[in-house]
Amino acid sequence: MVRQTQTEDPMATQAQKLRDLFNSGEHFIAADAYSALTARIVERVGFKAAYLGGHACSAFHYAVPDNGIFSQVEQIEQASRIAAAIEIPLIADADTLGETVADAFHFSRRYARAGIAGIHVEDEVNPKHSTYSNGLASIGDMQARLEASVKGRGDSDLVIIARCDELYPDAYRGGGTGSLEEAIKRGRAYIEAGADALVFPLASPEATAELGAALSKPLVVLGAPIPGTACTLHTGWGMLGAAKLHLERAKELFETGQVTADLSFPEKNDLIEQGLYDELIADWAKKTGRPTR
């Protein structure tokens, strides 16, 4: 289990809330949130957690791929804005946490201080998910990365999820060989180094069941929910949908001079707390004798 914290505390940090979700034993989905506004949307819909994927962030905010050139400084910049806009916990894709153990310590501390609830740290070698056939970091190097991350979070409750890409093969631009035996070996080593939970991208339901039986920490899934796991990180659909829609409307505007789509969005004012700020300004104007509309 994830390290226990107090439950039902109205003053609980987002990280404490995330630990409580893991400890509840109920599967939850951390939904795609690549901006402050989309995070508030998934919160208002009812999701108990939000997720900032690396590719969603790098593509949407910086127009670059997520293959090692996208830095943790850039990811933390966006993650901190998102976490500040919501009450539910945010899990962020922390890639490799940089290139050295000093990076891993430094960035973990920054994530914790920025109010991020959880991060996942992967064992790929940069540049990753690219034309370079990279392989995975050695078990010893990944353990050192995780140990530095644990030190970096200090006394905070930041949840550290170890991402093992052993089941993410070269054919899909991953660094793994596809060995379930090696994935289990790595999972045990990552737990020993201090990981609170584990995620194995592209693991089948059958492989996930074997991993769950062999490992003592909660399993997290990227993609569709799998029975027996603690959490699903679901990303891509929001960012891709928004970009695709923007492209379609931009083409229409360029070709016809107008956008014919229904642009009404009555929920917008509530999502950006328009009423709250209007009331604050009206109260100030009234108290100071200024005119109002």
Enumerate the active-site residues: 66
pLDDT in tens, 138-178: 999 999 999 999 999 999 999 999 999 999 988 888 889 99
Q: Is the pLDDT of residue 124 over 80?
A: yes
pLDDT value, residue 170: 84
Contact partners, residue 287, CB within 8 Å, separation at least 6: none
Residue 1: is its pLDDT beyond 80? Answer: no
The confidence score (pLDDT) of residue 28 equals 98
At 4 the pLDDT is: 43
CB 50 within 8 A of CB 67: no
Question: For residue 6, what pLDDT is reported?
Answer: 41
9 CA to centre of own chain? 23
Q: Are 218 and 22 in contact (CB under 8 A)?
A: yes
Q: What is the 3-state secondary structure (H, E, C) of the chain?
A: CCCCCCCCCCCCCHHHHHHHHHHHCCCEEEEECCCHHHHHHHHHHCCCEEEECHHHHHHHHHCCCCCCCCCHHHHHHHHHHHHHHCCCCEEEECCCCCCCHHHHHHHHHHHHHCCCCEEEEECECCCCCCCCCCCECCHHHHHHHHHHHHHHHCCCCCEEEEECCCCCEHHHCCCECCCHHHHHHHHHHHHHCCCCEEECCCCCHHHHHHHHHHCCCCEEEECCCCCCCCEEEECCHHHHHHHHHHHHHHHHHHHHCCCCCCCCCCCHHHHCCHHHHHHHHHHHHHHCCCCCC
**Whether pLDDT at 201 is above 70:** yes
- Spatial separation of the C-alpha atoms in residues 197 and 290, rounded to whole Å: 55
Residue type at 236 in one-letter notation = G
pLDDT of 85: 98
Per-residue pLDDT at 202: 95
Given a contact cutoff of 8 angstroms between Cβ atoms, the answer to whether 186 and 177 are in contact is: no
Tens of pLDDT, residue by residue over 21-72, are 999 999 999 999 999 999 999 999 999 999 999 999 999 999 999 887 889 9
Which of the four pLDDT bands, split at 50, 70 and 90, describes residue 126?
Answer: confident
Position 5 pLDDT exceeds 70: no
Q: What would you measure as the largest C-alpha separation in the chain, in angstroms?
A: 74
pTM value? 0.94
